[in-house]
Amino acid sequence: MRDFIARPEHGIVWISGASSGIGRALALKLAGEGYKVAVTARSHEKLVELQAEASGLSGSIIVLDGDVTDAEDMEHVMASIEYEHGTLAMAILNAGVYLPVHAEDLHRADFEKSFAVNLSGVVNCLLPAIRHMKAKGQGQIAIISSVTGYGGLPTGAAYGATKAALINMAESLKFDLDKMGIRIQLVSPGFVDTPATRKNAFPMPALISVEDAAQHIAAGLKSQAFEISFPKRFTLMLKLARMLPYGAYFALVNRVTGWQERPSETGHHPATPHPAE
């Protein structure tokens, strides 16, 4: 039996973190394919601009403001979808933040915000979405992680930890969701040109545009694959690197990033690029 694949006629697609980056590009891509897309973020103005940009497309954009770190907010968004707009067919949990972490100058706030947005923010959307889909007996969920979750990288102690947790979360939930008729997928992008990655201090390998990322994700959502990872060659290299013994892995990362040769004084490290939403 083939897994459920959400089509426009099945209902609403909900995208969190849709005001910029991958979320925004994906909302436009899916609206262009005829989907009715509910978009959530804290910036009402950016969501309204997104809605206006989609006005000529075959689908449509529904603006539903909300902060993913507020569980009650996400319950209200889900209730609005269910009672005002229709059945939730697909949830794409994309909201995320990248805050570089340096061991020479650690700040609790960097970890707390990263965990609140990237990890708890997904859970806050996931719970009401699964409850709704369970009642309908079908649905599709995509969790946006990152190849940074495959293994530790310089400055990624907070961001990478959350993405690794999302990988494990999606893998673990799949066993039960399969039995419920709810399909879950893991999205693992490489480096994508977003407002967050533009702050990085050195070139990012295999960098792609948000439009290309949206095309990869949109195609993957219609496939039977559990993981949607791209660009393929780059993500495969990172997976293979993580299979190395720790000594070889750390040596490889140091060589590729040049991190071992960089000054260790606080604040002198340029941020290592990490894929961002």
Alpha-carbon 9 to chain mean position: 24
DSSP state of 262: S
Dist CA 150 CA 163 (whole Å): 8
What residues contact residue 274 under an 8 Å CB cut-off, 6+ apart?
A: 98, 100, 146, 148, 153, 155, 156, 159, 160, 197, 200
User: What number of CA atoms fall less than 13 Å from residue 190's CA on the CB side?
Assistant: 19
83 in active site: no
Hey, what are 206's tokens? 């295999």
**157: Cβ–Cβ under 8 A, 6 or more apart, which residues?**
101, 103, 111
Which residue among 83, 150, 159, 249 is the active-site one?
159
Catalytic residue positions, numbered:
159
